[in-house]
């Protein structure tokens, strides 16, 4: 924080900034690889594909690619980012629930892996794949799969639970006739070689996630028995490892999950199946920090309020669903040094954002050293989803994001590199119809 102040990344003119710990991201990627290397049979093809939605930032995707991590994309925009980062099509998986015909065609032409979401989408793939499967035909598509919803239940955050009875994702496996339909869909399509299940994200316990993977594995076994060969050669087990937002500890870890999977679904790791994972949050949340300036410190009804520049425009989920998405807040002085607690101990106070609505609070009644104008607040563990879930309310600009590294301990010089430039006012005007200023007058 001190280096960010000293090097001018944050101050009166740039009152909010995102910071990413490059070594932390590398370490998380290495830990993910090591955790699964430990449980898979030697030689098993494994693709760890980062869920781009968690941090839709080209330099981050490139850094992860350098660490052996591909991309899971869920929109044409995310695919464009993965390609801009130089991620090879073989290391990209497309998963969105609403793929248009044009998106499917592009994916098939590029040879990226696609997981169809539903029967209608599979029918679209049929039409695209047919001319590519005969002798002398155009290049074959990349690996194609089907997403199933194992309907094993939800976690503590309903909005992120994708394996409930009525979730919008995938083919709902326990619905009447669905399993038989899935088996038939595979027997009729020798080119359909993957099953995909993503049980949910933050809030889903590990045993629920493992139960979903087990259901997908058992279905794959049934299908392979039905067709009499190893037609399904890869299981895509999704992402979803929850992040501990309560302390610095990384818990649960990838090894906890990989070992639980090995115990729950041993057959998945005996070498017959390749593996795709799609972790997002767990790869990057702990490496990110939002740092924001306290513009004013005031009080209302006896409650101290620090009005900062980090609110709903960045911490959208935290502001709108604070019970599900609490964040730790750390207090710093204007020089970026940790702010000591005063003689009376921590003071319960609201940490508010800059948006013009009353609920724009990133923390309510939170005990902290008493914040004053010019101080800084750090929102911890915000590397995932905070830099890509921006909210355009009040036309507040998206902040600049910088990666940092500090080799050599406390006194080392911290080096920053730009990841995303701060959004300019001109960009906001353009994005808001500035090129069409008089368009309505002529109607
Ligand atoms: C299909 C799919 N895969 C992976 C993820 C990433 O989840 P997480 O960031 O919790 O690991 C998501 C999140 O929404 C998803 O929908």
Q: Are 309 and 284 in contact (CB under 8 A)?
A: no
- Per residue in 37-49, pLDDT (tens digit) is 999 999 999 999 9
**Index of the ligand 1 atom closest to the CA of residue 201:** 10
pLDDT at position 139 is: 73
Q: Are 81 and 61 in contact (CB under 8 A)?
A: yes
Q: Cβ atoms within 10 A of the Cβ of 62, count? A: 15
The C-alpha atoms of residue 295 and residue 213 are separated, in whole angstroms, by 48
Span from the CA of 201 to the centroid of ligand 1 (angstroms): 6
The tokens of 13 are what?
């003119």
Confidence label for 274 from pLDDT (cuts 50, 70 and 90): very high
pLDDT at position 409 is: 66
DSSP label of 338: B
pLDDT at position 141 is: 85
Provide the pairing of β-strand 415-420 with 400-405: antiparallel
DSSP label of 11: S
Confidence label for 51 from pLDDT (cuts 50, 70 and 90): very high
Span from the CA of 223 to the centroid of ligand 1 (angstroms): 25
pLDDT at position 319 is: 98
Task: Decide: 93 in ligand 1 pocket, CB within 6 A.
Answer: no
DSSP string, 155-221: -S-GGGB-SSTT-SSSEETTSTTHHHHHHHHHHT-TTEEEEE---BSTT--HHHHHHHHHHHHHHHH
The C-alpha atoms of residue 192 and residue 229 are separated, in whole angstroms, by 13
User: Which residue intervals of the chain bear CATH 3.20.20.10?
Assistant: 21-285
Q: Are 89 and 70 in contact (CB under 8 A)?
A: no
**Index of the ligand 1 atom closest to the CA of residue 95:** 1
3-state per-residue secondary structure call for 256-270: HHHHHHHHHCHHHHC
Confidence label for 133 from pLDDT (cuts 50, 70 and 90): confident
Task: Decide: 200 in ligand 1 pocket, CB within 6 A.
Answer: no
Nearest CA to ligand 1 atom 5: 239
The candidate with the shortest Cα–Cα distance to 276, out of 132, 143, 105, is 143
The C-alpha atoms of residue 167 and residue 160 are separated, in whole angstroms, by 10
pLDDT at position 137 is: 67
The C-alpha atoms of residue 88 and residue 65 are separated, in whole angstroms, by 9
Ligand 1 pocket check: which of 73, 150, 196, 201 to mutate, most ligand atoms within 8 Å of Cβ? 201
For residue 414, the SS3 value is coil
The C-alpha atoms of residue 49 and residue 324 are separated, in whole angstroms, by 26
For residue 397, the SS3 value is coil
CA distances to 48, 168, 224, 440 from 382, rounded to whole Å, are 21, 27, 42, 40
DSSP string, 118-135: SHHHHHHHHHHHGGGTST
Rounded average pLDDT over 68-86: 98
Confidence label for 412 from pLDDT (cuts 50, 70 and 90): confident
Total residue count of the chain as it appears in this document:
443
For residue 389, the SS3 value is coil
Ligand 1 pocket check: which of 278, 383, 386, 389 to mutate, most ligand atoms within 8 Å of Cβ? 278
**Poorest-pLDDT segment among 106-115, 131-140, 184-193, 287-296:** 131-140
Nearest CA to ligand 1 atom 13: 201
Q: Cβ atoms within 10 A of the Cβ of 214, count? A: 19
Task: Decide: 281 in ligand 1 pocket, CB within 6 A.
Answer: yes
Q: Which letter, b or e, does each residue of 170-200 get, where b requires 16 or more Cβ atoms within 10 Å of its Cβ?
A: bbbbeeeebbeebbebbeebebbbbbbbbbb
The candidate with the shortest Cα–Cα distance to 14, out of 397, 420, 361, is 397
Asked: is 21-285 a CATH 3.20.20.10 domain? The reply is: yes
Task: Decide: 40 in ligand 1 pocket, CB within 6 A.
Answer: no
Half-sphere exposure (CA, 13 Å, Cβ side) for 263?
9
Burial class of residue 128 (count of CB atoms within 10 Å of its CB; 0-12, 13-18, 19+): middle
pLDDT at position 140 is: 76
**Does a cis peptide bond (omega within 30 degrees of 0) precede residue 252?**
yes
State the average pLDDT for the chain.
96
The C-alpha atoms of residue 149 and residue 246 are separated, in whole angstroms, by 30
pLDDT at position 286 is: 98
User: Which residue intervals of the chain bear CATH 2.40.37.10?
Assistant: 2-18+286-431
Asked: is 2-18+286-431 a CATH 2.40.37.10 domain? The reply is: yes
The tokens of 344 are what?
């009376």
Give the predicted TM-score (pTM) of the model: 0.97
Whether 441 has a pLDDT exceeding 80, the answer reads yes
DSSP label of 327: -
Q: Are 346 and 367 in contact (CB under 8 A)?
A: yes
Task: Decide: 52 in ligand 1 pocket, CB within 6 A.
Answer: no
């Amino acid at each position: 924080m001190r280096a960010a102040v000293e090097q001018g990344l944050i101050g009166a003119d740039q009152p909010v900034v995102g910071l990413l710990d490059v070594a932390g991201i590398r370490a998380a990627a290495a830990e993910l690889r090591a955790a699964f290397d430990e449980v898979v049979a030697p030689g098993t093809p494994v693709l760890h594909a980062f869920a781009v939605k968690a941090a839709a930032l080209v330099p981050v995707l490139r850094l992860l690619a350098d660490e052996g991590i591909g991309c899971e994309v869920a929109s044409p925009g995310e695919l464009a980012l993965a390609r801009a980062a130089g991620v090879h099509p073989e290391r990209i998986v497309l998963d969105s629930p609403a793929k248009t015909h044009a998106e499917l065609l592009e994916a098939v032409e590029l040879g990226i892996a696609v997981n169809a979401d539903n029967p209608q989408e599979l029918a679209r793939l049929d039409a695209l794949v047919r001319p590519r499967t005969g002798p002398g035909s155009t290049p074959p598509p990349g690996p194609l799969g089907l997403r199933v919803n194992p309907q094993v239940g939800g976690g503590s955050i309903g909005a992120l639970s994708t394996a409930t009875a009525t979730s919008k994702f995938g083919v709902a496996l326990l619905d009447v006739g669905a399993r038989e339909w899935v088996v038939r869909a595979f027997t009729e399509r020798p080119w359909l070689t993957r099953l995909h299940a993503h049980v949910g994200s933050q809030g889903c316990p590990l045993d629920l996630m493992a139960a979903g993977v087990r259901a997908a594995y058992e279905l794959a076994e049934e299908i392979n028995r039905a067709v009499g060969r190893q037609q399904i050669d890869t299981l895509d087990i999704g992402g979803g490892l929850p992040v501990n937002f309560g302390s610095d500890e990384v818990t649960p870890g990838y090894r906890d999950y990989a070992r639980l999977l090995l115990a729950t679904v041993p057959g998945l790791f005996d070498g017959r199946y390749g593996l795709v994972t799609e972790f997002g949050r767990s790869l990057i949340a702990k490496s990110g920090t939002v740092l924001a300036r306290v513009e004013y410190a005031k009080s209302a009804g006896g409650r101290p309020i620090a009005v900062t520049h980090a609110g709903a425009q960045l911490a959208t989920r935290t502001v709108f669903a604070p019970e599900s998405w609490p964040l730790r807040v750390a207090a710093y002085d204007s020089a970026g040094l940790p702010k000591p607690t005063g003689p009376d101990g921590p003071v319960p106070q609201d940490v508010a954002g800059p948006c013009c609505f009353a609920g724009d609070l990133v923390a309510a009644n939170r005990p902290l050293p008493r914040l004053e104008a010019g101080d800084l607040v750090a929102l911890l563990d915000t590397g995932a989803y905070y830099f890509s879930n921006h909210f355009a309310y009040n036309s507040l600009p998206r902040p600049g994001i910088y990666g940092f590294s500090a080799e050599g301990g406390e006194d080392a010089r911290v080096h920053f590199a730009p990841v995303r430039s701060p959004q300019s006012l001109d960009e906001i005007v353009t994005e808001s119809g500035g090129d069409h200023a008089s368009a309505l007058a002529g109607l």
